[in-house]
Amino acid sequence: MNHRTGMIGLAALLMSCWGTVHAAECLPVAKAAWVRLPPVAMPMMAGFVRIENPCKTPISIVGAESLAFEDVSLHETREEGGVSRMREVAALPIAPGKAVELKPGGLHLMLHGPYQPLAEGEKPVITLKLADGRSLPVVFEVRKGAP
C-alpha cells in the first residue's frame, strides 16, 4: 500500500466514524415540560411534555427516572367501554421528524412518591431513558393546571 492509498483509506475510515458519532449525538428535544400540582398532597403526580425527534433515525423512550420521585413510569389513559383506564407503556417510539405529546387524558408520566412536597414554580428534573442506553434530562415546571 502506498502513502496515497493509505491516506484515502484513513480519510474514509474517519468519515465513517464521524457519521456514526454524529448520528449517536442526535437526541430528542423536549418542550413545554410541566408537572400538574394536585389540589391536595398526594403520593402521585403526572408529568407532561412534547418530545420531538429531529434525528434521521427512530428513537424510543423506554423509561424515566428522577431524584425528586421514588418512581417514574410512562402511562397512557384510554377510554374503554365508557370507562377511563390507565396502563403502563413499555416503550414510546418516535419516528424521525415526528413528535409525541404527553398530555392530560393521554400519554403521560406517572410520578410516584415525591421525596418532598413540591410547590408551584419548582423545577424538578426528570431524565428520559432511550432504548439505545442514552438519556435526556428534562427540566419540568410544577404548575397548578394546564399551561
pLDDT digits (tens, 9 = 90+) for 69-103: 999 999 998 888 888 888 999 999 999 999 999 99
Q: Is 80 exposed, middle or buried (0-12, 13-18, 19+ CB in 10 A)?
A: exposed
Sign, CA dihedral 132-133-139-142, equals: positive
In a domain, 20, yes or no: no
pLDDT for residue 22: 44
Cell for 62?
423506554
- Counting the structural domains of the chain, the total is 1
Q: Is the pLDDT of residue 17 over 80?
A: no
Mean per-residue pLDDT, 23-47 = 89
Q: Which position has the higher pLDDT, 21 or 78?
A: 78
pLDDT for residue 6: 46
| CATH code of the domain in which 34 resides | 2.60.40.1890
pLDDT for residue 146: 65
pLDDT for residue 39: 82
Q: Is the pLDDT of residue 110 over 50?
A: yes
Q: How far apart are the first and last CA of the chain?
A: 64
Q: Count Cα atoms within 13 angstroms, Cβ side, for 77.
A: 14
Structural contact between residues 88 and 77, judged by C-beta atoms closer than 8 angstroms: no
Range of the domain at 139: 28-143
Q: For residue 2, how many other CB atoms are within 10 A of its CB?
A: 7
Q: What is the mean pLDDT of the chain?
A: 86
Q: Which position has the higher pLDDT, 112 or 83?
A: 112
In a domain, 9, yes or no: no
In a domain, 89, yes or no: yes
Structural contact between residues 68 and 106, judged by C-beta atoms closer than 8 angstroms: no
Backbone angles phi, psi at 9, to 5 degrees: -65, -40
In a domain, 23, yes or no: no
